[in-house]
Structure 1
Amino acid sequence: MVLLAGVVAVAVQAAGAQVEALQQLWSGIHDSSEQVVLSPEGAIAPWPESGDLRVRTIVAAVELPWLGAHVLYLEEFLHDDPENLRRQLLVQLEPAEPPAHALRAHLFTFINPRRWIHLNHRPRLLASLRADDIVTSSGCDLVFASEGDQFRGGTVGRRCPDTRTRTARYLDYQLVIGTDLYWYRRRVFRKSDAQLQEEVVGYNWFELNKARLFSCRVDWSASGRAQQLRPLVRLDLHDQGGRGRFSTPDGRRLELTLHSQDWPFAAARDALILLVQNQGEDEPFASAWVQLDGEQIALNLGWLRVRCGPIVPETDELRSGCGRCAPPARPLSAVSLLH
């Protein structure tokens, strides 16, 4: 019994540290390039040639002891229009149940949103906020799990309603937060048949380069034999020097990096380059490269295997499924929690 209590205490302590880490990573200013993949009219927009929007998300920790020990204020707007908020939330972070497996972000909206605009810069107004000024929808909570030095979260099931139309629809919202990565995917499905109605993707804004987003799956072998490789972690990286850190069960602390047009040492060729190195060291101990427009890049050391592929489908793949596509539609304004 004492042993069980000790295990639970360790799990709770670890979950508390994870909440702190997520709060620190999420806090800050996130500039995103947002693309419509599937418009409300059902037309598939080419990626990445479709028109994009520059979106700014500001996240700041605020003191609201009556709501929780870890509370964030979040507001989102088009980059040149900070007074017209698309999204405005309070986010309460806490360990999920069981605490060893995940974290939960409870989302709250404001009954009178305009009154609380830029709340993170208005301490007197913050002090006047009360429980009856906000509303929640537990169906739209985000559940996060840590993957290396990133947090991957999203809604669960079909419980987050899309309230913009009379048709019964639900939202699927996914978010990945890392040291140099912030990307989200918002999809709307029809409830009757789970048919996809809308899809919007946003990730780090790059003024000088067109970045692509990759998901990298890392497998590890305890014996060092390729036949015994097992899934270890999944990290999302952009190809303009995106980094992801992780640890192997035997204690090695490693780092992945993806480069393409930002890489100054391959000026003679256009290439997508994957590097693996020990954390804290300047030189990689392994690397791989493919042509710049390659859809996959992989590296296999026997004891470690890394496979990366683009998260968003290529333009030709999108076009092949839509026939005569209409121009991309501007994302609709939001009234529900995740719009």
Structure 2
Amino acid sequence: MLAEETFRIKPRKNRQLEKDVKLIMKWFAGYFDNREQVEEEKAKNTPPELIHEQIHGIFAPVEIPAFGKNVLYVKQYMDDDPTQVYRQRIYSFHVNEKEEAIELRIYAFLDDEAYIDAHLEPGKLSDLTPEKMSFKEGCELFWYRKKNHFLGYMKEGTCRVCSQKTGKIITITDDCYLDGEQLWIRDRAFDEDGNYIFGHKGNIHHKMKKQYEILKTGRIG
């Protein structure tokens, strides 16, 4: 009897996760920035070392079959200057039945310059495959639905990469918040001795608000 009940429950969970994937794609798709957060911190005379960098994020739905059905091109830059790109990625969302979560796999370009602003020319991405990009196992984010928002987490201690600056191993952690209007990001890195490498020194999220939606082919919604 218990086995039959388990069999009935599992498909229901999977159906809900499939709905969650569609919702997370809808909420992610857009242009975000934390301008308001930075202005508030400056107005409150926040110590300079605790004022957040002003960051901007473009999260554009794209069709790249090799990465699955739910894929975003991501461009993140700083200080109102689209040329100050600090991160460019492909995000691929999948149902993870074991974790009962939405798994976000993050792929880095091997040649960033070749794909700048690919949301405006999505044809640039058509021949990409996971094998042609850099993927760090253990650096996945797992997103969990909490009523009217999602919380995303990396598993503790699993995202270990070699720093391009120092050549040493660092551990990256990240936790995020997403709803229909906001995306909060708190990524941090530490060396093997626990020393701070990057991230907000006050341990506060970059709190970005959606300024407009981005539809497939880069059109603004």
Verify the 8 A CA contact 2:107 2:130 in the aligned structure 1: no
Cα distance, 1:67 vs structure 2: 1.2
| Larger Rg, first or second structure (1 or 2) | 1
CA distance in 1, matches of 2:147, 2:47: 32
In the other structure, the counterpart of 2:98 is 98
Aligned pair count reads: 194
Separation (CA, whole Å) in 1 of partners of 2:29 and 2:59: 5
Q: Is the 1:104–1:141 Cα contact (8 Å) retained in structure 2? A: yes
Cα deviation for residue 14 of structure 1 reads: 0.8
Q: Counterparts in 2 of 1:257-272, with a 5 A limit? A: none
Superposed displacement of residue 96, structure 1: 1.8
The residue aligned with 2:10 is 8
Give the C-alpha shift of residue 142 in structure 1: 0.6
Listed as ranges, the gaps of 5+ residues in structure 1 are 36-45, 206-339
Query: What's the secondary structure of 1:11's corresponding residue?
Result: helix
- The corresponding residue for 1:182 is 183
In the alignment, the residues of structure 2 paired with residue 47 and residue 93 of structure 1 have an alpha-carbon distance, to the nearest angstrom, of 40
Task: Give the number of the structure with larger relative contact order, counting CA–CA contacts within 8 Å between residues 6 or more apart.
Answer: 2
Distance 1:48 1:96, change over 3 A: farther
Matches within 5 A, 1:153-302: 153-162=152-161, 163=163, 164-192=165-193, 194-200=194-200, 201-204=205-208
Q: Deviations over 1:156-187 (max 9, x none)?
A: 12122352323432111111111222211122
Q: Which residue of 2 aligns with 1:27?
A: 29
CA distance in 2, matches of 1:53, 1:198: 12
SS at match of 1:119: coil
* Structure 1 length-normalised TM: 0.52
Shift of 1:197: 4.2
Q: Judge which range, 117-126 or 47-56, deviates more.
A: 47-56
1:48 alignment counterpart = 46
For residue 122 of structure 2, what is the amino acid of its counterpart?
P
CA displacement at 1:47 relative to structure 2: 8.4
Q: Which amino acid aligns with 2:166?
A: T
CA offset digits 1:26-66 (Å, max 9, x no partner): 1111112587xxxxxxxxxx983324432110001111122
Give the alignment's TM-score, normalised by structure 2.
Answer: 0.77
Unaligned runs of 5+ in 2: 39-43, 210-221
For 1:83, what is the secondary structure of its paired residue?
strand
Give the distance between the partners of 1:9 and 1:132, measured in 2 at CA: 31
Alignment partners' CA distance in 2, 1:172 and 1:48: 25
Bigger mean CA deviation after superposition, 161-170 or 61-70: 161-170
* Contact 2:29–2:61 (CA under 8 A) maintained in structure 1: yes
* Cα distance in 1 between the residues matched to 2:24 and 2:169: 33
> Aligned in 2, Cα 1:128/1:53: closer, same or farther, shift over 3 Å?
same
Percent of counterpart pairs with the same letter?
18
Match of 1:85 in 2: 85
**Residue 111 of structure 1 aligns to a residue in which SS?**
coil
Report the 3-state secondary structure (helix = DSSP H, G, I; strand = E; otherwise coil) of the residue aligned with 1:24.
helix
Q: Partners in 1 of 2:88 and 2:112 — Cα distance?
A: 7
SS in structure 2 at match of 1:82: strand
Question: Which structure features the higher share of helix residues?
Answer: 2
Letter in 2 for 1:174: D
User: Secondary structure of 2:25's partner?
Assistant: helix
Counterpart contact for 2:96–2:103, Cα < 8 Å: yes
1:22 is paired with a residue whose SS is helix
What SS is found at the alignment partner of 2:119?
A: helix
What amino acid maps onto 1:8 in structure 2? Answer: K
AA in 1 matched with 2:178: I
How far apart in 1 are the matches of 2:60 and 2:152? 18
CA distance in 2, matches of 1:16, 1:169: 34
Contact 1:31 1:55 in 2 (8 A): yes
The question of whether the paired residues in 2 share the 8 Å contact of 1:107 and 1:138 is answered with no
One-letter amino acid matched to 2:175: Q
Task: Output the CA distance in 1 between the equivalents of 2:180 and 2:148.
Answer: 7
Alignment partner of 2:108: what SS?
A: strand
In 2, the alpha carbon distance for the partners of 1:47 and 1:71 equals 40
* Equivalent position of 1:63 in the other structure: 63
Q: Distance in 1 between matches of 2:61 and 2:5?
A: 36
TM-superposition CA deviations, 1:188-207 (whole Å, max 9, x none): 22224x344443241136xx
